[in-house]
Amino acid sequence: MELTTLWFIIIAVLWTGYLVLEGFDFGVGILLPILAKEKDPEIRDKERRVVINSIGPVWDGNEVWLLTAGGATFAAFPEWYATLFSGFYLPLLLILVALIVRGVCFEYRGKISDPGWARWCDRGIVFGSWLPSILWGVAFANLVRGVDLDAAHNYVGGFWALLNPFALLGGVVTLALFVSHGAVFLALKTRGTIHERALRLARPLSVVTLVVAGAWALWAQLAYSRNDWTWAAVVVAALALLALVAAVWVDREGWAFVTSAVTIVAAVVLIFGAMYPNVMPATDPANSLTVDNASSTHYTLVIMTWVAVVLTPLVLLYQGWTYWVFRKRLTAEAIPDPIGLSLRAPRDDADDATDRAAASGTR
């Protein structure tokens, strides 16, 4: 196998890891106000802390897959990286801003003892999860469809050209995939009320995901795929989604999570397989970036391969150990009360005076 093809596959694997792991992070963030919705503010806050704590130890580690995928693209296919990040500048900037907002809200939600601050952080988590969930689908769908590149491999289509029907449906697909993925992850990771709500919500979500993902996959394969063998990815994704629907309806959240992850893996195989041998197809095939005309030198790829062979197993072992350490399910009862913070409605001086008078009258 040529090293250029090998690194195309490695980059696809890195994106697979990112979308599978960060996918349930996004889904959990979107579902935060939907699953933690008790009227009592203190109970609701505990439920939201359960939801956030389910991904608290791992969300930042999951983002490392994105950094690694970007770094590998820059080193292995510098012209692909340059064209992609210049042409998709605005959507990628919006994703970056959303990820920063979400990260800040995760880290600082509990640092200030103020209910209003917690509410704003919750909104930031939802926004920082919802926007990337859509924009990643829009970006990958455009790569499958092909974009307007000139002979110098510069993107000339403009921002609005990226918002075509096929790409917008791709955004809906990734949103649906991630939300259902997050729901089954929460069902797998929690007990009690959140567990029950997540499973109940996962049932209709899985059906919606089956419909929209199936429609997009058929459209992609029939209209834009450059390889017949990607039909295998379409079939695997369809079978996995059917298994997901069955698993959530019989309350088998473990199998549901596995089938949801398999669906995302099959989707990445379809996306990258539909492009190959291009790394960035153009509407005019003569201007497409391929694994050959966009790659680094052979010597660079050899060095990168040896680095990957040595370091990748260590990274996988460390991340696997992290998930093993934090494998236990969470419950609202195990969440301690916040220190120095009451989330109930504030009392005014008249209420306090009334209470003191009532107390003195009962002595």
The residues spanned by each domain of the chain are 3-282+292-306
* CA gap 257, 128 in Å, rounded: 23
Q: Is the pLDDT of residue 154 over 50?
A: yes
Q: Is the pLDDT of residue 340 over 80?
A: no
Banded pLDDT at 114 (limits 50, 70, 90): confident
Q: Mean pLDDT throughout 154-183?
A: 94
pTM, to two decimals: 0.89
Q: Is the pLDDT of residue 266 over 90?
A: yes
Mean pLDDT, the chain, as a whole number? 90
Return the closest-CA partner of residue 120 out of 192, 48, 66. 48
The arrangement of secondary structure in 3-282+292-306, i.e. its CATH architecture, is Up-down Bundle (1.20)
Six-digit token pair at 289? Answer: 């970036």
From residue 206, how far is each of 13, 134, 202, 247 by CA, in Å?
24, 17, 6, 10
pLDDT, position 162? 92
* CA gap 292, 294 in Å, rounded: 6
Return the closest-CA partner of residue 122 out of 105, 134, 103. 105
Q: Is the pLDDT of residue 15 over 70?
A: yes
Q: Is the pLDDT of residue 244 over 70?
A: yes
Q: Is the pLDDT of residue 349 over 80?
A: no
Backbone angles phi, psi at 113, to 5 degrees: -85, 75
Q: Is the pLDDT of residue 97 over 80?
A: yes
From residue 95, how far is each of 42, 98, 172, 185 by CA, in Å?
32, 5, 16, 23
**Percent of the chain, pLDDT > 70?**
93
* CA gap 19, 212 in Å, rounded: 18
> Which residue did the predictor score with more confidence, 337 or 343?
337
pLDDT, position 144? 96
* CA gap 284, 299 in Å, rounded: 31
pLDDT, position 339? 57
Vertex 183, ends 105 and 263: CA angle to 5°?
A: 110
